[in-house]
Structure 1
Amino acid sequence: MNVRRSAAVLAAAFGIGAVAAPLAQAADPSPSASPSVVLPSGLYGKGDPTYDGVWRQSLALLAQHTVGERPAGKATDWLSRQQCGNGGFAAFRADPGKACDAKTLVDSNSTAAAVQALAALGGHEAATAKAAGWLKSVQNKDGGWGYTPGGPSDANSTAVVIGALAAAGDKPADVRKDGKSPYDALLALAIACDEDGGGAFAYQPDKKGALTANADATAAGVLGALGKGLDATAGTQADAKCAAPDTPAQAAANGAAYLIRTLAKDGHLTSSLPGAEDQPDYGNTADAVVALAAQGGTAGVRKPLAWLEQNSAAWAKESGPAAYAQLILAAHAAGADPEKFGDQNLVAQLNATGPAPETGRQATASARQTDEANEQDDDDSPFGTWWYVGVFAVFGVGIGFLFSNRAKGNKQ
């Protein structure tokens, strides 16, 4: 789901009108940090994290993982410490040391994204199980989820929760409320082939119960119907003609067919935010690439992927880590190289927005540079290499003790 959709839904749910204008202008709802928000050192991005901190951090860590990076410990720690005692995550908590209360706006999207990131990184089984338990506790009677607990189900929220449940080791089809599964909720939002927008998913029914095609919701719905998460890889399902969406697999195929038709003309989706002028929607186009690749519609991936490679650089630079992550996830799903994405090195650009990864491409390059510098220093040093090894071996004992105790202190 696009970060703009996340912020827009939160604003609508709680009447936060102040974000409406920035949302219509850029993918990042707050391109500069609010004076009242101190940015943590472990957080990716310089924009105000109030509405998207957990979301963008989760996408950043997930994207790094897909390309073989091991994220920085303080970046992972920041995300894990955002979890509330009940298992849920809010969009951002400035003081994670303070317990969550009834005023903490915990939501399904932040929670589901965090689950997917932490599950991918490993070692957070207790946290992801607790978060999945919270998600199950706020499931709606139709089997789906809204952005906030008790809110009407929507395709985007339901889909990202399906991905989280699967990542946490649950079978989404078995997670039921009043006999309804998440797939029942998605199928209820799938538009029949002979209707306007046939094959697509609606975000929600309108006040009269009618369904309107929504490309953003369709990309999310395809992933959800396939039972896949944000880091989906290429699927093997053959392209299919639109047919009655009476199974999740058929609904996913229908949605993919709709996206292919919609992307055929320009190679990109168009922004549909209320009050915004029609303009290319880079984030949702990236999401559509992931959905199409996951379903197996490789023929429909080439044009939007090429369009993103040629046109997304300025958008990603302005929008920050979530944008770089979306592009990396799109490249990953489509089998493209995120380090040679047009003229962009998406991995380096994402890593530059926060703490350097511990291992992987950037860490390896940094270590190589350090080794070369040390070799030069050794030539000039009266002490030699083994003196440094001895000193750092002793120092390492203290560091290990420090990290061990910090980890204990961060557990919730």
Structure 2
Amino acid sequence: MSPRRRRATVLAAATVLCAAAAPVAAAAPSGTAAAGPVPAVKPAKLPAGLYGDADPKYDGVWRQSMALLALDGAGAVPAKKAVDWLTDQQCADGSFTAYRADPSDDCDPDTTPGDTNATALAVQALAAVGGRGKEVREAVDWLVSVQNKDGGWGMASRSPSDANSTSVVIGALHAAGKKPAETTAEGGANPYDALLAFQLTCGSKGIEEAPGQQGAFAYQPDKKGRLAPNNDATAAATLAALGKGTLVEPVAKDAKSKPVTPLKCASGTPSGDEGERDGDGGGDSNDGKEQGVPGGRKAAAGAGAAYLAATLEKNDGHFSTVQPGAKKPQPDYANTADAVIALAADGHRTEARASLKWLADNLDDWDKAKNDPSALSSLMLASRATGGSPTELGGTDLLARLVATGPKPAHMPDSDDSSEKKDDGGTIPVWAFIIVGLAVGAGFGILLSGRRKRQQL
């Protein structure tokens, strides 16, 4: 920013300061479908504002958004260039792709189609750090424009809806201040209608192949319309059914843990939040209540949480996955962290903390927990959601590891604004407000003094 533009910005901000008596900052904090596999290849040159040094071709926007969410959740103010990098990735139509190597080039729908998952998580991140309302609105408008008739979303524009994509978009709508239940497609279907259609209930197709899996969510139905339990989809959909996004409010330290209660298929009703129908903070008849579990989306979330808790408990507090070519299952750290967030969001503090402890005890075994922005961010967000520290886990400083992968934040949660917060061109120094404020105040004094003298003449 040129000196002239910076002076103009300071003067404008001083006017706001005098009018509202409130500090101003450019990026002050407020407030899943998994990205594709990331090759362990470091490109020759990476953008200065990006977190992580792996090839961003498949996950650039996703991992940057996760980093910004984790920083905001930890009380840090991201560097302006980190936020700018993300907004520069936005296409003219409001969408985001997985990664644009040259943001100056126009987005080509054939080679760089809009990605609903990247767009939705970018919305959540930009809404959290604040100051990017235009970009958030344009991204949300694009998401709404590509909503499927069933009320949901697929990963690509107009592709068949899936639980993960629909979930991350619900989180984006919530973060942007929109009510998902009122975001209806042609025909009247809303996102919760689509989401709850992926849940295995007592009469779901495929439940005979998955006995005891009621409450779980499938990623998508197969060609015969049958549903298969999916841990990733269940964690994402449980959180979304609550109307929440990735950055959830921490569980209160004195809050009692809400018991988990599996879906009771004998009576066809869940025990727990039965009858509670809440579209978005109040009674709402359009919350997906006709799909699956009686009692609406919050009851569906309770059933999903019960499945998550039971599955985690059976496996010593974590999920497992079988990697291609592997002879035995391997720990699934990422989806375990997602499940912790979902359980905590639904009030199941005991179960969430049990799995968080497993993550802490096995942190050194997860190679991605060393320097992968998405992994580090998910752990920080999981710890925060349970009421724990948003910066460390099991004695490991996760915030320091995340910061080491990208731009140093404009402000760290444990730093002193007056001595450590650096001006990188995106914020206005506190002293500037003081000086300009004094100057404006002196001007008002002189003006009033002159007015009194004129009245005395």
User: TM-score, with normalisation over the residues of structure 1?
Assistant: 0.80
| 1:312 Cα deviation from its structure 2 partner | 2.1
Please name the residue that 2:306 is paired with.
Answer: 257
| 1:340 Cα deviation from its structure 2 partner | 3.7
1:341 matched to 2:393: yes
TM-align CA RMSD = 2.5
Please name the residue that 1:217 is paired with.
Answer: 233
CA distance in 1, matches of 2:139, 2:242: 22
Structure number with larger C-alpha Rg:
2
| 1:256 Cα deviation from its structure 2 partner | 0.2
CA distance in 1, matches of 2:220, 2:140: 23
| Preserved contact between residue 348 and residue 362 of structure 1 (Cα < 8 Å) | no
Other structure's SS at 1:280 match: strand
CA distance in 2, matches of 1:280, 1:208: 31
Deviation string 1:115-172 (CA, Å, 9 cap, x unpaired) is 0000011111111011000000111111110001111111110000000011111110
264-273 or 92-101, which deviates more: 264-273
| 1:107 Cα deviation from its structure 2 partner | 0.5
Equivalent pairs counted in the alignment come to: 351
CA distance in 1, matches of 2:364, 2:121: 24
| Preserved contact between residue 190 and residue 200 of structure 1 (Cα < 8 Å) | yes
145-154 or 235-244, which deviates more: 235-244
CA distance in 2, matches of 1:152, 1:275: 29
| Preserved contact between residue 31 and residue 319 of structure 1 (Cα < 8 Å) | no
Where do 5+ consecutive residues of structure 1 fail to align?
A: 8-22, 24-28, 371-391, 398-412
| 1:97 Cα deviation from its structure 2 partner | 1.5
Deviation string 1:248-280 (CA, Å, 9 cap, x unpaired) is 111100000000000103110112556555110
Change (3 A) 1:179 1:303: same
Where do 5+ consecutive residues of structure 2 fail to align?
A: 1-31, 264-269, 271-291, 423-430, 437-457
| 1:202 Cα deviation from its structure 2 partner | 0.4
Deviation string 1:311-349 (CA, Å, 9 cap, x unpaired) is 123423456111000000001101111444113111111
Other structure's SS at 1:222 match: helix
Please name the residue that 2:320 is paired with.
Answer: 270
Alignment of 1:354-369 (within 5 A): 354-361=406-413, 364=416, 367=419
Change (3 A) 1:68 1:248: same
| Preserved contact between residue 357 and residue 363 of structure 1 (Cα < 8 Å) | no
User: TM-score, with normalisation over the residues of structure 2?
Assistant: 0.72
| 1:70 Cα deviation from its structure 2 partner | 0.2
Alignment of 1:1-400 (within 5 A): 1=32, 5-7=34-36, 23=37, 29-35=38-44, 38-102=45-109, 103-177=111-185, 178-193=187-202, 195=207, 196=210, 197-234=213-250, 239-242=260-263, 243=270, 245-246=293-294, 247-265=296-314, 266-271=316-321, 277-315=328-366, 316-318=368-370, 320-361=372-413, 364=416, 367=419
Amino acid in structure 2 at the alignment position of 1:239: V
CA distance in 2, matches of 1:107, 1:70: 27
What is the percent sequence identity of the aligned residues?
Answer: 50
Deviation string 1:18-46 (CA, Å, 9 cap, x unpaired) is xxxxx4xxxxx2222245xx310100000
User: Which aligned segments of 4 or more residues in structure 1 are displaced greater than 6 angstroms?
Assistant: none
Other structure's SS at 2:35 match: helix
| 1:179 Cα deviation from its structure 2 partner | 1.1
| 1:233 Cα deviation from its structure 2 partner | 2.2
187-196 or 263-272, which deviates more: 187-196
Deviation string 1:277-312 (CA, Å, 9 cap, x unpaired) is 511000000000000000111121121100011112
CA distance in 2, matches of 1:159, 1:262: 21
CA distance in 2, matches of 1:30, 1:365: 39
CA distance in 2, matches of 1:319, 1:185: 36
Amino acid in structure 1 at the alignment position of 2:221: P
Change (3 A) 1:368 1:326: same
